[in-house]
């Protein structure tokens, strides 16, 4: 049983297309007859493992669950702030209407005081709503995106560099064609 270590080689075809393969370093000198393996195949195997490891990470899952429940709580607080804000706005509008319909100066002074109080409360709730929306945005930005193979392959060149760093060696068993990938 002969095991050959394979490394990435760049092959340029007659039509100037570039192809990446893993092959034995002695292959070019015709000292090794081990076939080359398409780099895409190896990289897909490694990416599948990386995605599976990241998806099964209990720390990441726990963090994602905590962030999701925190966002749900903060959304509930925001809904409550909006409800109170709407109630205050309705009271304010009703008082404005009452103040335009009333000519009694004593009653007008009471309504003006109430309008000023409501205006302050409305301003306070506008600030609370803005602050709450900012908190939700911060939490949403801190969410860990779900890592998928498609996401990793969006930048193929960068992904290849990462994979080459992850792989310490690839061996092939000449007797049965088994491929073994060692990860750093």
**What does the alpha-carbon distance between residue 70 and residue 14 come to, in Å, rounded to a whole number?**
58
pLDDT digit string (tens) for 130-171?
999 999 999 888 776 677 778 777 887 788 778 877 877 777
**Structural domain boundaries of the chain?**
3-55+149-183, 58-141
What class is the 58-141 domain?
mainly alpha
Instruction: Give the span between the Cα atoms of 179 and 84, in whole angstroms.
Output: 65
Q: Length of the chain in residues, anyone?
A: 184
The pLDDT, as a whole number, for residue 11 is 67
Write down the pLDDT at residue 1: 39
By C-alpha distance, which of 25, 27, 23, 19 is closest to 179? 23
Please tell me the least confidently modeled range out of 35-44, 53-62, 88-97: 53-62
Identify whether the C-beta of residue 46 lies closer than 8 Å to the C-beta of residue 162: no
Write down the residue that tokens 């990441």 correspond to.
60
Q: How far is CA 171 from the centre of its chain?
A: 34
**64 pLDDT above the threshold of 90:** no
> What distance in Å separates the CA atoms of residue 87 and residue 173, rounded to the nearest whole number?
75
């Amino acid at each position: 049983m002969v095991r050959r270590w394979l490394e990435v080689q760049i092959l340029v075809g007659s039509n100037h297309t570039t192809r990446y393969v893993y092959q034995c370093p002695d292959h070019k000198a015709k000292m090794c007859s081990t076939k080359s393996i398409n780099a895409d195949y190896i990289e897909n195997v490694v990416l599948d493992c990386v995605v599976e490891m990241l998806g099964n990470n209990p720390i990441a899952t726990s963090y994602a669950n905590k962030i999701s429940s925190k966002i749900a709580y903060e959304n509930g607080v925001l809904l409550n702030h909006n409800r109170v804000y709407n109630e205050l706005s309705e009271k304010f509008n009703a008082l404005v209407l009452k103040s335009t319909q009333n000519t009694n100066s004593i009653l007008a002074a009471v309504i003006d005081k109430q309008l000023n109080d409501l205006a302050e409360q409305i301003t306070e709730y506008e600030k609370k709503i803005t602050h709450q929306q900012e908190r939700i945005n911060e939490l949403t930005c801190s969410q860990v995106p779900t890592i998928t193979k498609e996401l990793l392959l969006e930048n193929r060149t960068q992904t290849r560099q990462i994979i080459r760093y992850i792989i310490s060696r690839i061996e092939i068993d000449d007797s049965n064609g088994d491929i073994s990938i060692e990860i750093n």
